[in-house]
Amino acid sequence: MIMPLSGDPPRSRCLSIALVIIVLVLALAPFLFGGAKPLNVTAKICIFIALAASYDLLLGYTGVVSFAHTMFYGIGSYGIAIAMYGLGPRWGAAAVGLTVALPLAAALALVIGLFSLRVQTIFFAMITLAVASAFAVLASQLSWLTGGEDGRSFSVPEVLRPGFRVDVLGLNITGRMLTYYLVFACCAALFLLLLRIVNSPFGRVLQAIRENPFRAEALGFRTVIHRILANCIAAAAAAAAGALNALWLRYTGPDTSLSFSIMLDILLIVVIGGMGTMYGAIVGATLYVLAQNYLQALMGWVSTAAGEAGLPLVPSLFHPDRWLLWLGILFIASVYFFPAGIVGKLRGSR
Amino acid sequence: MSELLTLSAVETHIGRYHILHGVDLAVPEGATTMLLGRNGAGKTTALRTIMGLWRASAGEIRFGGSRIEARPTPDIARAGIGYVPETMAVFSDLTVKENLVLAAREGAMDESRLGWIFGFFPPLKTFWLSRAGTLSGGQKQMLSFARAIIEPRRLLLIDEPTKGLAPAIIGALIDCLAEVKRRGATILLVEQNFRVAQEIGDSVSVMDDGRIVHTSAMAELARDGALQHRLLGLSLGAHQ
Amino acid sequence: MSVDTGIEPGAALPKARGDYLPLLLPVALALAALPFVPVSTWFTLTVAGLAMGMMIFVMASGLTLIFGLMDVLNFGHGAFIAIGAYVATLVLLPLGGWMQADSIWLNLAALLSAIVAAMAVTAVIGLAFERILIVPVYGQHLKQILITMGGMIVAEQLLYALFGPQQIPLALPTSLRGSFLIGDAAIEKYRVVAVLVGLVVFVTMLLILNRTKIGLLIRAGVENGEMVEALGYRIRRLFVGVFMAGSALAGLGGVMWGLYREQVNASMGGELLVLVFIVVIIGGLGSVTGCFIGALLVALLQNYIGFLVPKLSLISDILLMVAVLLWRPRGLYPVTSR
């Protein structure tokens, strides 16, 4: 148990139990639930765990705020989508997409880091915001490549298609299940890799820099290089998560990969789960994706009910499109009152 | 002689570091009190705590009879304390004139007082409209001094004014301090240069490790070489 | 004892007093574009660029000043832009008659009341924003970024909830519609007005910063707030004042932008915030003059590139930012202390 966790166990009984349950449910999801929606939800949880964990490397461990994480996520998504769309539903195409997208994401992160991390973390936040929004505009305008606002739908290799069926030990395995397990395994591997990185000597230097950059610099650590490297790793991991998302959806478009609301999702997951804990990504992503899928419906119901009751303003405040309003309020409240997040709270009250 | 400023059992923490461990200090009115001690003894922290730039976590500070340790820095300054920090902290983007305009809180600068200051520090007149950032180190120190005395203050807190300055400038600073004192101000001066301290100090307190370890008349400490050596780790002979 | 030999530490070479090179950049850019465009088009594009630049400057100046003085980067600044535009729309609704009237005085009276209302409302909201959201996180950049970004989103969503997602038309008053013709070049009247307003704001800011005691305090506070306090000034009050003024300027910018586009939408704040950030980075965080030049550069370049290579204009801002940062890594006029 300790080996794959890189010597960084959950360190809280409640947290361990919650994690075991989440991982078990995610692992058995194709057999536990019927229908398409639950599997879509669990797959999204898996992907968001990897995505949020990669962001935690930046926000929680390096102490810098990036608004460009969805850009890297999008690069991964578009990498797969464009390759599969152009080269056909072959594994080779996926490999091409990945070999272009991952280095591209890392290289872009390197350039952004070189420009902005030398000066101040606040500079980094501003520049990532500017670059990411320019990238989003670019992606929606270069329709010959990206499909513009419509995005790109594509076919996946045969074994991953919903129609594909095979009997293994009497179990009826579909292509959808195989895709799910591909996503699950890759996300688990990404998470464990990131856990290893933050617990490596490199990760400890990052935390030393976060705590006191001047002291770390005085001790001889090149803070800029460490921050830039962390940015590159996080970018590549986000791109990998994006690629998995594209494979699962068999589609990539601005709304599923580049929109600012995904950036907000990631921020909220990491803050609510607990910054600088990695496990926060698991707890946060699970709660968040569940809430997103089921609470939005509740909001719709409240909105309609309030509308029928003739209340002013309430219908528009609770309209499902105003999801971000409540998210924003929750976000501010978490940063103020709950900065350690769920994992921090659980560990504190061990 | 009554005491203008007293610190009793003052403790100061900076972050997780405990810097002042119960400082007891009395500054008699109308006199020049030297605060000596090795690097890191807590002298600068003591001055900053008096100014309210660090908050005392325990103890009390009285200025002219009323407690000031919990009051905001601007109020402490307005009670009549001028501060010359170790870094001089001139506003380098502002001209010499603008620096002094800000320091003169009560409105227009008093021309005769300005002339009096120019008498000690002629370069301030020469560079009146230059940006303070372009001044030399000594000129910046002059400006920092001038800022503290542009209006009469009851108490001046001065942190290592002679550090790294040429002898001629040190001489001008000493003359200025003597004149300021003659006009009735009380001075608390942190100094590393023992000769300067000896020349202008009336009384002396020595700090070590966040505490006051010695208080006496300046002359008394100046006479006792062994005591100097023990408290300050210096012997005059070797340091000339 | 350290007795020096006459060479004083700290007597570094005087910094180059007049760093005028960046001031020439907008002029150089305009001249560089001249050979590629017909003269009349160039004239139109340049005026359009200047107008756009002035509006962005008005929005960005508050942000950069707030950052310089308080070390607070307000990601919620964009919200004030949108709020200003909405307030103006609400005020102009009942004043439709004045706006449609043929009298320039009635037109201006309507506009002026819209502007005053927008600036007052954004100043008050700025005060609340500072009190509620920012005060608890002074000095903590990470939380500051997160909190103000959260505030931005909440404000934007509230605008959506209150006014709906649709574009709301905001018509120009009669006397500001249409264009002048100078030779072949058509110059929209409103753009000239925008340039004038921007110049007035810029000159006023410079005068306040350089000629008044408040201005001295702000400049001194940008450099060393602690020493300003040790001289006996309550810098908190200064903070609040500057924050309100900066928010009001964002509101003014929002009104100007709404009239320029002749429509208002809740998402305009977020979109303009990105532009404002680029401008502030180019200018150097905290510098008003840098911000002014940055705004002109960004807007002029957008207009020229938009005419010459439309696709490239999507990323021309970013490319400009990269070029400036390659030349001066902290922007054109970095503020010395940070």
Q: What are the sequence ranges of the domains in chain C?
A: 38-327
For residue C4, give the chain B residue with the closest CA: B166
Find the radius of gyration of the CA atoms of chain B: 17
Residue A211 forms part of a structural domain: yes
Cβ C229–B138 below 8 Å, yes or no? no
CB contact under 8 A, C10 and B140: yes
Spell out which residues of chain A touch residue C154, defining contact as CB-CB under 8 Å: 325, 328-329, 332
pLDDT of residue A3: 66
Nearest CB to C141 within list A115, A122, A339:
A122
DSSP-derived letter for residue C6 is: S
Contact assignment for C142 to A327 by CB distance below 8 Å:
no
Is A5 part of a structural domain of the chain? no
Give the pLDDT of residue B99. 95
Token representation of residue B230: 């023990």
Q: Which residue numbers of C have CB closer than 8 Å to B's CBs?
A: 1-6, 8-11, 14-15, 17, 213, 216-217, 219-220, 222-224, 226-235, 336
Q: How far is B151 from chain C (nearest CA, A)?
A: 11
Buried b (16+ CB within 10 A) or exposed e, A176-186: bbbbbebbbeb
- Enumerate residues 6+ apart whose C-beta is below 8 A from A262: A70, A73
- Check CB contact under 8 Å for C14 and B134: yes
- Contact residues, chain A to chain C, C-beta under 8 Å: 59, 63-65, 67, 115, 118-123, 125-127, 129-131, 133-134, 137-138, 141, 260, 264, 267, 271, 313, 316-317, 319, 321-322, 324-325, 327-329, 331-332, 335-336, 339
Residues of A whose CB is below 8 A from C329? 115, 118-119
Q: Please, which residues have CB within 8 angstroms of residue A128's CB and are 6 or more apart in sequence?
A: A65, A66, A67, A68, A71, A112, A116
pLDDT at A190: 97
Three-state SS string over chain B comes to CCEEEEEEEEEEEECCEEEEEEEEEEEECCCEEEEEECCCCCHHHHHHHHHCCCCEEEEEEEECCEECCCCCHHHHHHCCEEEECCCCCCCCCCEHHHHHHHHCCCCCCCHHHHHHHHHHCHHHHHCCCCEHHHCCHHHHHHHHHHHHHCCCCCEEEEECCCCCCCHHHHHHHHHHHHHHHHCCCEEEEECCCHHHHHHHCCEEEEEECCEEEEEEEHHHHHHCHHHHHHHHCCCHHHHC
Residues near A107 by Cβ (< 8 Å), separated by ≥ 6?
none
Are C230 and B51 an interchain contact pair (Cβ–Cβ within 8 Å)?
yes
Contacts of C161 in chain A (CB under 8 A): 313, 316-317, 319, 322, 325
Give the contacts of A51 (CB within 8 A, at least 6 positions apart). Answer: A69, A73, A237, A238, A241, A242, A266, A285
- Residue of C145, C278, C311, C332 best to disrupt the A interface, most CBs of A under 10 A: C145
**pLDDT the model gives residue A86:** 93
Q: Using a CB-CB distance cutoff of 8 angstroms, which residues of chain B are in contact with residue C289?
A: none
How distant is the Cα of A326 from the closest Cα of chain C, in angstroms? 8
Residue B1 pLDDT level (bands cut at 50, 70, 90):
low
Residues from chain C that touch A122, judged by Cβ atoms under 8 A, are: 73, 141, 145, 285
Q: Where does the pLDDT of residue B166 fall: very low under 50, low under 70, confident under 90, or very high at 90 and above? A: confident
pLDDT score of B107 more than 70: yes
- CA–CA min distance C164, chain A (Å): 8
- The structure tokens 């940062």 sit at C325
d(CA A333, CA A33): 34
Is residue A206 in some structural domain?
A: yes
pLDDT tens digits in sequence order for chain A, 350 residues long: 456 788 788 888 889 999 999 999 999 988 888 778 889 999 999 999 999 999 999 999 999 999 999 999 999 999 999 999 999 999 999 999 999 999 999 999 999 999 888 767 788 999 999 999 999 999 988 889 988 889 999 998 888 888 888 888 777 888 999 999 999 999 999 999 999 999 999 999 999 988 888 888 888 888 889 999 999 999 999 999 999 999 999 999 998 999 888 998 999 999 999 999 999 999 999 999 998 888 888 888 888 888 888 888 888 888 888 888 988 898 999 998 888 899 988 888 64
Among A125, A138, A322, whose Cβ lies nearest the Cβ of C145?
A125
CA angle C258, C262, C268 (to 5 degrees): 40
Please enumerate residues of C whose Cβ is less than 8 A from a Cβ of A.
73, 75, 133, 136, 141-143, 145-147, 149-151, 153-154, 156-158, 160-162, 164-165, 270-271, 273-274, 277-278, 280-281, 285, 311, 314-315, 317-318, 321-322, 325, 329-330, 338
Handedness of CA C76, C81, C82, C83 (dihedral sign): positive
Sign of the alpha-carbon dihedral angle for C161, C164, C165, C171: negative
pLDDT tens sequence across A112-134: 999 888 767 788 999 999 999 99
Q: What is the DSSP string of C166-190?
A: S-EE-PPPGGG-SEEEETTEEEEHH
Q: Which residue in A has a C-alpha nearest to residue C330's C-alpha?
A: A119
Q: For the whole model, what pTM was predicted?
A: 0.87
Residues of B in contact with C224 (CB under 8 A): 89, 91
Chain C residues whose CB is inside 8 A of the B161 CB are none
Nearest to B93 among C5, C11, C223 (CB): C223
Counting as contact any 3 or more CB pairs under 8 A, the partners of C are A, B
Say whether C219 and B91 touch across the interface (CB within 8 A).
yes
Which residues contact residue B102 at a Cβ distance below 8 angstroms, ignoring those fewer than 6 apart?
Answer: B91, B94, B147, C213, C216, C217, C220, C228, C231, C233
Contact C229 B147 (CB under 8 A): no
Any C CB within 8 A of B35 CB: no
Global ipTM? 0.90
Cβ atoms A123, C281 nearer than 8 A = yes
- What top-level class would CATH report for the domain C38-327? mainly alpha
Average pLDDT across each block of 10 residues of chain C; the chain has 338 residues. List them in order.
35 49 91 91 94 96 90 91 96 89 90 96 96 88 91 93 91 88 86 95 93 91 90 92 96 96 92 94 91 96 93 88 90 72
Residues of chain A neighbouring C141 (CB-CB closer than 8 A): 120-122
CATH of residue A251's domain is: 1.10.3470
Across the interface, whether the CB atoms of C8 and B92 are under 8 A apart is answered: no
Q: Domains, chain B, ranges and CATH?
A: 1-80+153-161+185-240 (3.40.50.300), 85-151 (no CATH)
Q: CA-to-CA distance for B5 and C257, rounded, in angstroms?
A: 58
Domain of A231 in residue numbering reads as 13-348
| Whether B91 and C227 lie within 8 Å, measured CB to CB | yes
**CB C264, CB C168: distance < 8 Å:** yes
User: Are B189 and B203 contacting, i.e. CB atoms less than 8 angstroms apart?
Assistant: no
pLDDT at B236: 46
Residues of C in Cβ contact (< 8 Å) with B78: 232
For residue A297, what pLDDT is reported?
Answer: 84
Is A4 a domain residue?
A: no
Q: Which residues of chain B does C220 touch, with a Cβ-Cβ cutoff of 8 Å?
A: 91, 93-94, 99, 102
**Nearest chain C CA: its distance from B53 CA (Å):** 7
Name every chain A residue with its beta carbon within 8 A of the beta carbon of C278: 130
Number of domains in chain A: 1
Name which of C73, C270, C278 is nearest A130 (Cβ-Cβ). Answer: C278
B136 in reach of chain C (CB within 8 A): yes
In a domain, A289, yes or no: yes
A–C CB contacts, 8 A cutoff, strictly below:
108
Contact A126 C150 (CB under 8 A): no
* Tally of helices (H runs) and strands (E runs) in chain C: 12, 4
pLDDT of A338: 87
Cross-chain residue pair B134–C9, CB shorter than 8 Å: no
